[in-house]
Amino acid sequence: MTDQRLSFKEMCTRFDVTPRTLRYYEYIELLQPEREGRSRWYGPKEVARMTLILRGRKFGFQLEDIRQWLLIYENDGTEAQMRAWVTLADQQLGELDEQRKQLDAAIAELQKLRDDTAKNLVG
Distance CA 52, CA 56 (A): 6
Residues 50 and 66 grouped into a single domain: no
Residues 69 and 123 grouped into a single domain: yes
Report pLDDT for 1.
46
pLDDT in tens, 28-81: 999 999 999 999 999 999 999 999 999 999 999 999 999 998 989 888 888 998
Domain that includes residue 18, residue range: 1-58
Domain boundary among 10, 35, 58: 58
Residues 10 and 52 grouped into a single domain: yes
- pTM of the full predicted structure? 0.80
Residues 106 and 77 grouped into a single domain: yes
Give percent of the chain with pLDDT exceeding 70.
97
- Please count the CA atoms within 13 angstroms of the CA of 46 that sit on its side-chain side: 25
Residues 77 and 105 grouped into a single domain: yes
